[in-house]
Amino acid sequence: MSFSLKQLTARLRQAFVRPAPDASTAPLFDDVAPPARPRPPLRLPRLPRHTAPVVVGVLLLVAGGYTLVRHPPALTINPGQAALRTNQLTGHQQELGAGNVWVVPGLHRLRVLSLRDQNWKSAEMARHDGPAPVQSVEGLSLGVDVTVRFAVNPAQLALVASRLQADAGAELVDPALQGVVYKTFARYTAREIFSTRRTEIQQAMEAELKPKLAAEGLILRNVQVGKIDLPPQYSERMETLLAEEMASEKMRYTLELKEKRVKESELEARAEMVQRELQAEAAGKVQVIAAKAQEEAMKHVLPFKQRQVEQRKLEAEADKQSRIRTAEGNAEARRIEADGEALARQRLAQAEAFRLDAVGKANAEQMAREGSLLSRHPLLIQKVMADKLSDKVQVIIAAPGADGGFIGSGLLGHPGKAVALASGAAADEGEEE
């Protein structure tokens, strides 16, 4: 292609660009207009016939690309938003939720609305010396900080889009709020607005404002009455009055509390008395029931006791008979033991007598034998005496007797008489035998 795009661009620029003015003909001051020069007619460059479709196609592509860049056909609806797409040819409207939306430039018009809760505050009525303060029933100017929380009704997007231009609070909420606030606050005194009736005022405003906003396609969440701006002098008097009222309220509550405590003590005393009566009644019923139960039990206990008495009598009789038999057995045993003991003692006495007799006889025989031995050997006495004195005595020096007998005759008596007596006794025993 001999005709290039660069050449086409250069010719278009020469055709549409205005030439710079000459310095010789330029005005010296800005307020003096230069003489008008005739503008040469706009001449389009002549293009070869075989390149005209190409140029037209390029221009259409450039225009379409520019339109797509400035007005993209695909838009994104974020969460918490809703969109209303309007067909400009047919007037058909379509409500769209979060997601991607196709919008054809020149055919569709898209309006995006936020579904999140929004707050609106009226700055004009916030101060008592502001441009639009509210009036109390006394005619006192007050500043009220009113906050309205609202949201767009998803079911009435078309209505909201038709009435809303930019700000829903300023265009829809504020007119309805002013129509409600001034009328509501005008029914109350400044004291009631400041202290006692604020909740009631808030509820009344919500009840009256809700249908008005619903007619505009909005949902009222709540109305919050904040700070009340009073004139300085009235504010000081109000604070003093409120302090006095709080003191009186405190005293009233204190008295009510004491009265309630007295009633509580009285009720506790009554409750204790009733409780004692119930306890006494219950104890009496328990005793009656116990007596009836005891009476019922005695019907079964008395025969049992009677049988126990009879059983004890029989047991006592059996014990008596057993003891009698035991005593008789013990007496019989003792009698047998006594008889045995007497017989044993008798036999022991007889045995002792026999023993003594036998011992006496043995001693007599022993003495007879010794006497006969002494008569035959009289010196045995001296030997025995010497043995009895000590085993260490070997020599005894003593004067002989007058009759030439035993040297210890003075100690033992007259041995002759003893020998004679012993001989006589032995002879007598021999004769008796």
231 vs 119, higher pLDDT: 119
Q: Give pLDDT, residue 28.
A: 36
Domains in the chain: ranges and CATH = 5-70 (no CATH), 77-240 (3.30.479.30), 377-432 (no CATH)
Are 246 and 252 contacting, i.e. CB atoms less than 8 angstroms apart?
Answer: no
Q: Is the pLDDT of residue 173 over 60?
A: yes
Q: So what's the pLDDT on residue 156? A: 80
Picking from 176, 166, 170, the residue whose alpha carbon sits closest to that of residue 215 is 176
Residue 190, Cβ density class (10 Å: 0-12 exposed, 13-18 middle, ≥19 buried): buried
How do strand 74-77 and strand 99-102 relate by DSSP bridges?
antiparallel
Percent of the chain with pLDDT over 90: 10
**Distance in angstroms (rounded) separating the CA atoms of residues 219 and 202:** 17
By residue count, the chain amounts to 433
User: Can you name the residues that pair with 85 across neighbouring β-strands?
Assistant: 94, 110
pLDDT level of residue 350 (50, 70, 90 thresholds) = very high
pLDDT at 108 over 50: yes
Q: Which residue has the higher pLDDT, 320 or 432?
A: 320
Select the more confidently predicted residue: 430 or 282: 282
Between CA 211 and CA 324 the distance in angstroms is 118
3-state secondary structure 303-368: HHHHHHHHHHHHHHHHHHHHHHHHHHHHHHHHHHHHHHHHHHHHHHHHHHHHHHHHHHHHHHHHHH
Give me the chain's average pLDDT, please. Answer: 76
Question: How far is the CA of 68 from the CAs of 54, 74, 105, 204, in angstroms?
Answer: 21, 10, 8, 52
Torsion of Cα atoms, 47 then 48 then 51 then 53, to 10°: 70
Residue whose C-alpha is closest to residue 123's, from 165, 168, 169 = 169
Give the per-residue pLDDT at 36: 46
Confidence of residue 118 (pLDDT cuts 50, 70, 90): confident
How does pLDDT run across 277-313, given as a tens digit for each residue? 999 999 988 898 988 888 888 888 788 888 888 988 8
In the predicted model, is pLDDT for residue 369 greater than 60? yes
94 compared with 253, residue with greater pLDDT: 253
- CA distances to 376, 387, 415 from 368, in Å: 12, 22, 16
The structure's pTM equals 0.41
Which residue from 213, 215, 124, 123 is spatially nearest to 173, judged by alpha carbons?
A: 213
Structural element, H or E, at residue 109: strand 108-114
Instruction: Between 64 and 16, name the one with better pLDDT.
Output: 64
Buried b (16+ CB within 10 A) or exposed e, 400-430: eeeeeebebbeeeeebeebbeebeeebeeee
Q: What is the pLDDT of residues 52-98, one digit of tens each?
A: 666 667 777 777 666 666 666 666 777 877 777 777 778 777 777 76
Residue 2: pLDDT band with limits 50, 70, 90: very low
What is the percentage of the chain residues whose pLDDT exceeds 70? Answer: 71
